[in-house]
Every structure is written in C-alpha cells, then in structure tokens.
Chains A and B, each alone.
Chain A
C-alpha cells in the first residue's frame, strides 16, 4: 500500500512540475492533420526574432536609405540558390524565419498556405483592389491597412476567417512598397503575432516565374504549374 501511495506521490509531483513548466515555457502544437506526411509550422515563437520593430523606425530607416530593397534579393541569392519546386521547404526551417521573408521562404510558406487549413495565410496588401484581381499569389486574400482602419467589411471577414495564431504572410508589389509594413502594424494591433513580410512581393514572385492567379494571368490555376518563365 505504501508503494502505491509513493507512486501516486511521484506521479503527482511530476505532473505538477509539468503543469508549472508548461505554463512558463511556451510550447505550441502544430496542426498535424492537414498535410499527412509533413509537418505544419506551429505558430511562431517570436520572442527571439525581435519582431515588433515599431513601424516608425522602419520607415525612418527606409527614408534614410532608399536602396535597402536590394538586400532581400541579395540575401535570397546567397541563402537558397534556386527554388526547389518539388519540395519548396527542402533545407528550410520555417521556425527560423525572421519577419522578413525571402522569396524561397515565402515560397515554402506558400506550400502550407495552399493546404487551405488556415495555418498560413497570404495577404495581398496592395492598396487597389484592381491590382489584386488582375494578378495575385494563388490563395491570397486582399486586405490593406486602410481597410483595417476603416473597418471595411472585408476586414471583418478576415477576422472571422483567420485565427490569431495563424501565420500571416503579407506582401505588396515589392521594391519599395510600404503597404505590407503598414498592414502588419495594423494586424499586430489586432493580435496577429505571427506576421511576416514577403519583401520581394509580386515583383520577385513574378520574376521567379511562379504561378499566379487572377484575370490578367490567364488564371494560372492551382499551384502546380511553377517555373513557366524561368
């Protein structure tokens, strides 16, 4: 009898320690059902990556050095030399992505977005809806910072569709565009912590010959037909 009491005591102690520890250390589960045979990213633990840099400083930095948009494409050229169309995330660890995504990283996350389970969502932040309708990254939603500020019905819909722990990848046209950063600042205020900016935007996406959808692109359809213009 004493043995059983002691066993229970040890189990209780271990469980208590585990509960306290799991409260102190953020561990999040990936949603495993959506894509059999592959892991989906759990929500980013952004404490380490020094995200939420205030938007003003970003803008100041950009104002002082207007040429900074070159760096992402350089970084992208050095990190993964070519896109692996068969397995976009080959050699990449989504958990290690910083808030600014290279083309290869965005392409990797797009693979998850195409699963359609809401774990990763692509958002087109370009201000005019016409651009979005003409050509967009497949599966992207349209949302701009102004729409958030105005309480646009599309934003209400976004709030309903996208869970706060989803990874939100925001892009605009690329180059020097600011819409992504503005929108990310707004989204963070609404509790979306895992926000990423695909800095290369539409320019890099099209430049790599990746598929798009929309009226002007002959509606490239699903994500399969990559690499057309390469």
Chain B
C-alpha cells in the first residue's frame, strides 16, 4: 500500500534489467551457435536425435524452433517488450531442457558425449549431461520465473505499451505516445492501472 521510495525502485529496476540482459545474452549465444550455419543446425539436429525423446519427424523442426524461440525471447527481453511472455517462453524452454537432460541421465540406453545445449560450445558445464547442466538450467529458469513475476521494470517498452493498452478502453484512443513520452517512469497516476495478475487487486502503486 505504501509508495516505494525512488531509490528502491531504481535498485529493483536495475536488478530486473541486469537479469534481462544476462538472460538475453545466454539465449542469444545459444541461438547463434545453433543457427549460424547449416553445419551447426545439422549438429544440433543430431544432438536432439541423440536424446531419443522426440520422434524423427519432429527433430528437424525442433532443431530450428528451439534456437529461434531463444533468439526471439532474447530480443524481446533486451527491448523489454512483452517481457513476461518472453520470460515464460524462455522458462518453458529451460524446463524442457532440464527434462531432456534428466531423462537422458536416467536412461542407460542414451549415451551422449555432449549436452548439445550450446552447440559445440558450453557455458559453465562441459561434457555429457550432468547435474551441472541441470543446475545451470535451473538457475536460468529461476531468472525467468523472477521476470515472469516482476515484469520488465522501469526500463523497457512494456511499461508504455501496457499503459496505453490498459487505458484505451476507458479513455478512448490516445495520440501516438504523447502522454506516454511525457509521463516517464514516475507518473503515479498512470501506474494505477495494472495488467499483471499478481499485483492486480488492491495495490495499484506497486507496479513497476
């Protein structure tokens, strides 16, 4: 109910921004390594096939879909556009990866030499799928969940976009960005409307 102090808002937004950039960096790196040339795409398809989870007809599509989703989510996270949705998609990907790695560790018929998570490179963990990979993905998932909960923070397109979308039904169509640009991050009257499910209800001020 109480108004947050600007210092706390700034700190919180910086944390959110750092997490967004970090996550976007990891995602872009992963996507780039898988999409940069046909040979990489082929290797990633082989890596997915080696997990023996997906049927063959889905392996090739997913070999392209995973990196593209990573890339799109990364761009959206950097822009702060649709942050929650992008974080949710990235989180789903990481959870899927955790499931794949876990199942590969459990099944003895699957002998992987590499995780395949970052093409031929690796982030923190090397070698075949291990607890290290699961922990790494769990950490990334946690970041996604945090963003899903908190949204983009002050820095980002979401803030303006959502505000406009929320106000359109009440106030009718607005001029293209006039008030939005003037409003800036600390305009309390415009923070009143919120679309976030967890901060809806009776706490209009707590909306970053």
Residues from chain B with a CB closer than 8 A to the CB of A19 are 61, 64
Task: Check A11 against B69 for contact (C-beta < 8 Å).
Answer: yes
**Distance A18 CA – B38 CA, assembled complex (angstroms):** 13
**Distance A9 CA – B64 CA, assembled complex (angstroms):** 17
- How far apart are A22's CB and chain B's nearest CB, in angstroms? 4
Given contacts A10-B73, A14-B68, contact A45 B38 (CB under 8 A): yes
- How far apart are B162's CB and chain A's nearest CB, in angstroms? 8
What residue of chain A has the Cβ atom nearest to residue B65's Cβ?
A18
Task: Check A17 against B72 for contact (C-beta < 8 Å).
Answer: yes
Q: B35 at the A/B interface (Cβ < 8 Å)?
A: yes
Task: Check A14 against B65 for contact (C-beta < 8 Å).
Answer: yes
- Size category, A interface: 20 to 34
Task: Check A18 against B85 for contact (C-beta < 8 Å).
Answer: no
**Distance A67 CA – B104 CA, assembled complex (angstroms):** 53
- How far apart are A90's CB and chain B's nearest CB, in angstroms? 14
What residue of chain B has the Cβ atom nearest to residue A17's Cβ?
B68
Main secondary structure on B side of the interface with A = helix
Q: B76 at the A/B interface (Cβ < 8 Å)?
A: yes
Q: In B53-78, which residues have CB < 8 Å from any A CB?
A: 56, 59-65, 68-69, 72-73, 76
Which one, A23-31, A69-77, A128-136, is touching chain B? A23-31
Interface size on B, residues (CB 8 A): 33
- How far apart are B100's CB and chain A's nearest CB, in angstroms? 16
Residues from chain A with a CB closer than 8 A to the CB of B195 are 2
Task: Check A6 against B82 for contact (C-beta < 8 Å).
Answer: yes
Q: B45 at the A/B interface (Cβ < 8 Å)?
A: yes
Residues from chain A with a CB closer than 8 A to the CB of B181 are none
Task: Check B59 against A29 for contact (C-beta < 8 Å).
Answer: yes
- Taking Cβ atoms with an 8 Å cutoff, the residues of B that contact A are 35, 38, 41-42, 45-46, 49-50, 52, 56, 59-65, 68-69, 72-73, 76, 82, 84-86, 88-89, 109, 111, 165, 195, 197
- Taking Cβ atoms with an 8 Å cutoff, the residues of A that contact B are 2-3, 6-7, 9-11, 13-15, 17-19, 21-22, 25-30, 32, 36-37, 39, 42, 45
